[in-house]
Amino acid sequence: MSSSLHRLSLVRLAEEIRRGAISPVDAVRCMMDRIAAHDGALHAFAHLNDAALDQARRAEAEIAAGLVRGPLHGVPLAAKDLFDTADMPTEFGSPVLRGRRPRQDATVIARLRAAGAIILGKTTLTEGAYADHHPDVVPPVNPWGAAHWTGTSSSGSGVAVAAGLIWGALGTDTGGSIRLPSSCCGVTGIKPTWGRVSRAGALALAPSLDHMGPMARSVADAVTLLGVMAGADPRDPTASQLAVPDYMAELSKPVRGLTIGIDRGLLKARADDQVLASIEHVIEVMTGLGARFVEVTLPPIEPALTGWAVQCAVEAAIVHREHWSTRAAEYGPRLAALIERGHRHTAFELAEAQEHRRDFAGAMEALYAACDVLLIPGLPVAGPTLDYMSGLGEDPAAILAIGPFTAPFDVSGQPTITVPCGTSEKTRDGGGIPLGCQFAGPRFAEALIARTAHAFQTATDWHTRRPAGYA
């Protein structure tokens, strides 16, 4: 099984480890071997854990002695390099924080370790979790096609999962940074409700917009991680006190009779033909499973997007105030431009942005009186190339042009799940680039949107496909 070990789902791997059929040592070695073989070309990892094999041996001994710590015991995972790890650097994709060694794990890292997970490494991200990698950082490469975008900013996590270098990874999402890499790399990503997962020990881009979530091959794998990550946290007073559901148990519930809303006017105005065709495919599949589609109209997204740009800039300027005054020259151009805009925005502009945000969030929550969940694309364009994306980042309007289906849900704080739902037309690299769709729901409806997405995955095989050369 060793040659095909990486093909196992996270859920299956965890089961096999618990019953002693697979050693955590073998699982870690499998990923280390694949990272050694492939990451020189992919650049998904920023750091590797030198103690991973020792931790795997300890997990193996514990399981053999009948001590199972939790549902992830012995499972290797990765974390975006903005989550504090006491045994590895946390550098935020920035030379300003190079060599930073936290003394304490982020809450989500501590919870994963308590459940038995082995944090094998830290994944590459855009500088400060914003729009682009620092010029000194080699950006991750999309394993589906080197000429194509990996998505911001959890790019390394998306690439690592897609290429089979890890079974699951942590990401964060401020304007789409879990969902855009998930769409581009053909993996499953969950942006939970804001407050569902603690932000303690996670370096921030814009705290009121930042969401922590998992990325994995399938819905079942992703909710396994979410169930461990979620919950109240005394280190984060904004973390919700609501009980965490048994997400896995919810997946088995049927979707027959579920009402799914779709805003065709928004999609036709913003999405290209290939994206629209992939959405029609999802509609066909879900209708065949017994779901019912209804036409809905989202509240205007432009004020929400404009407000997002203002709030993100102001909050980023606050986050970086300690280093900006003395080390501004060390920042890359994209993040520097964001921080500079944050300093220029007036109190009036910020108050207006916050008012737009409150109105939009309220209108979005009210929308679910007409449907149970929403279906929406992940990206407005199919398989965007690096050339296409090269002009984005300096102008906030240009950035938001790629995220009209993602950033609004960061503004509203509502949960979405992204799953593969097709591929683009063949590219110069020889194959298609994955396309993703989102199922969105009201606040704290993670179980419902996961059940919907899982039903789609049980009826399709998009999430099982792997890029050539990494199967």
The whole-angstrom separation of Cα 124 and Cα 140 is: 7
The residue among 174, 96, 1 whose CA lies nearest residue 336 is: 96
Q: Which of 9, 23, 80, 218 is catalytic?
A: 80
Q: What's the rounded Cα separation, in Å, for the pair 30 and 27? A: 5
Of the listed 9, 94, 153, 240, which one is catalytic?
Answer: 153
Q: What is the dihedral of CA 142, 147, 148, 154, to 10 degrees?
A: 40
How far is the C-alpha of 185 from the C-alpha of 289, rounded, in Å?
26
Q: Which is the catalytic residue, given 23, 94, 177, 424?
A: 177
Planar angle of CA 58, 61, 66, nearest 5 degrees:
125
Residue 80 is among the residues annotated as catalytic for this protein? yes
The CA distance from 288 to 282, in Å, is 10
**Is there a catalytic annotation at residue 177?**
yes
CA distance 188 to 19: 27
Residue 285: count other Cβ atoms within 10 Å of its Cβ. 17
Give one word for 186, left, alpha or beta, with left for phi > 0 and alpha for psi -120 to 50.
left
Q: 10 Å Cβ neighbour count for 430? A: 9
* Cα(52)–Cα(77) distance, integer angstroms: 10
Which run of H or E residues covers position 275?
helix 273-288
Q: Which two tokens stand for residue 298?
A: 């989202």
In the three-class reduction of DSSP (H, G, I as helix; E, B as strand; rest coil), residue 403 is classed as coil
Residues noted as catalytic: 80, 153, 177
